[in-house]
Amino acid sequence: MKNKILNIIGIIAVIAAIIFAIFEQRMEKMLGNFNLNALENAEQNVNSGVANAREKTENLVLISDKTYMNFVRPLMDIDAELNEITSPIFHLNSVNNSDETQKIVDAILPVLSDYSSDMARHLGVYNGILDVKKNDYEKLDFAQKRVVDDSIKSFEIAGVNLPSDKQTKLKEIDAKLAKLSNDYSNNVIAANKKNKITITDEKLLGEMPESDKAAAKTDDGWEFSLLAPSYIPFMEYVIDRNLRNEMYKNYVTRAPENEKIIPQILAMRNEKAKILGFKNYAELVFQFRDAKTPGRADKYLSEIATLAKPVAEKEFNELKDFSKIDLQPWDIAFYSRILKKEKYDLDESETKPYFEMNATIDGTMSVISEMFGIEFHKREAKIWDKNVRYFDVVRDGKVVAGLYLDLQTRESKQSGAWANDFASHHLDAKNQEHLAQAVVVGNFPVGTDENPSLLSLNDVNTLFHEMGHAVHQMLSTTNELDGSGFDVDWDVVEFPSQFLESFWLNPTVLKKIGKHYKTGETISDDLINKIIAADRFEKGMWLVRQLEFGLFDLELHQLNGADEEKVQSILDNVRNKVAVINIPEYNKFQNTFTHIFSGGYAAGYYSYLWAESLSADAYMAFDGNPFNRELAYKYRDTVLALGGSKDMSDIYRQFLGRDPKPESLLKYYGLK
């Protein structure tokens, strides 16, 4: 009998192992399964997905005894299912933009906006969550309690208790805002493809690196666009001042159509805030902010400005004296490069050969692997462009997430760099695990057979920054979809990205990632010291520029709307307070400020510096050793693992046992 029982147990164990192996294999296969056909019948699929989501929601509302597991988790599952349909569509519009993709997005936006508005103010769902709070709350863990509390707060600030006429108005506003923001973004993308300058005399390119020349080469000469990988080397190296002036003017007068869209966006946002009972739009969005109030954020930026502006003025005067001309904005990049080379004997033509794109990516992933105890396994997957790469993320021998990298520039791709989530780690209503998938998108220069893609120091910095976002998304272990990965309060979402970004200048890290693309030689200590010393070059000027963006954004969204003249007046006043460079009247920066008019950072651009108070403090705690395993793993298991399942202030105290020290940011920038 004993042997028979043991045999049965053994058989059961084998069956269980097979089932587990199949499940593991199934989970792995689900990763890297990007929907390349997302644009086919997209409008029909979104309509069907929304209709299905509405039906499922109404069925859930009918449940009599609502609990977290039979009501809240299924609600989040509905969101996840709809995201599987819509996320690839918006992604393809960003990375392979065309008239077709824009038309599709224009068509589905009203449907999704309508659905989102309805769900945000669904009285049945709201009452259901109130029932869960009343009857099931004490049984929940901290992450689940936060989901419940935040959901109730979200419903209330969305106006769930408002009369139907006001709810209808809010719904109309949301639809209009979605359309206006999309139009704003598309205008910027379209503008980036226009106003190219062709240079036929190679002498005018000055000391421009061969890799940048190669990227610009055409049959007619060298063609430069307003995309960053093309615009930046043009402004840094082209010796003809008039050409730089022309390119600068093209750049700062892009998307003039947006000047009329901005007041419409501001008016809609203000009207929405007033209907919901807030003084202005900033007060509305600060309901889910670590800073808590716009005034506190404003004070924080103003304090930094007081410290930074004298430093920036000193830097600008030094550059002006060095140039021996009436220095204008189109001269800054050109003379800054020369001055940096003279002061530190450092030029990017000297550093770029050590940062060939593919080798730098591999080195960056190696650093992340060593810091956080994970591995990146490249494998075949469904990709939208031949240059995209996919990796399984492995921890302790188990696949825990997936990562796409799309880092080379294309005309059809939105400018800049970003990280996004295709899926977040969570358990569904059946307690089945779903793994996270992240994508990092960049606009690094495209290499050729003769000249590979060589990264600037800013490119390397950007790579670390966006990978910091991706790691945050991929290493989350929270079981609740809401609060997983980088679903955190908006003003701390940049904390993990800025934290990882801080380490790229570490000498140990630079030796790992810096290998000469021709000789394989490791970057020298002398060059490393130059890079680190040069990193603080004109840091004050950079910082006041960030303060200009943040203060402009905050002030703009604390008003009751603003017309074109008022918007310009606010920007001019902020520049008078913090800027050290005289900006021409024709500069319409506001027309391309996608962060706040189409990117979700409205009344939130300050968050970059707010989050940096955390990242700078965390970086200082490592005392220069990125591979302090005990501390790195603790960071992984608190800040990264817990995501938005707790207040970041509580998570930070779990990480270091204290609050961040305010002076860390000042030391990090060399202001103290």
In angstroms, rounded to a whole number, what is the distance separating the alpha carbons of residues 612 and 617? 8
Tell me how far apart the alpha carbons of residues 337 and 457 are, in angstroms, rounded to a whole number. Answer: 12
DSSP symbol at 522: B
Interacting residues of 573 by C-beta distance below 8 A, sequence separation 6+: 555
Q: Cβ of 171: how many Cβ atoms within 10 Å?
A: 18
Question: Which of 634, 596, 635 is CA-nearest to residue 615?
Answer: 635
What Rg value do the Cα atoms of the chain yield, rounded? 26
Helices 607-621, 539-556: inter-axial angle, 10-degree rounding: 140
Q: How far apart are CA 161 and CA 157, in angstroms?
A: 9
Contact 490, 553 (CB under 8 A): no
DSSP annotation of 68 reads I
Listed in sequence order, the DSSP H helices in 380-481 are 457-474
* Cα 159 from Cα 163, distance rounded (Å): 9
Residue 470 CA, distance from chain mean position: 9
CA distance 380 to 358: 17
Phi-psi region of 67 (alpha: psi -120 to 50; beta: other; left: phi over 0): beta
- Of 114, 167, 326, whose CA–CA distance to 241 is shortest? 326
Question: What sign for the dihedral angle of Cα 437, 440, 446, 452?
Answer: negative
* 466 noted as active-site residue: yes
| Marked catalytic residue, from 348, 466, 480, 555 | 466
User: N- to C-terminal Cα distance for the chain?
Assistant: 78
Residue with tokens 């955190």: 488
Token pair of 88 as six digits: 């690839």
- Kindly list the catalytic residues: 466
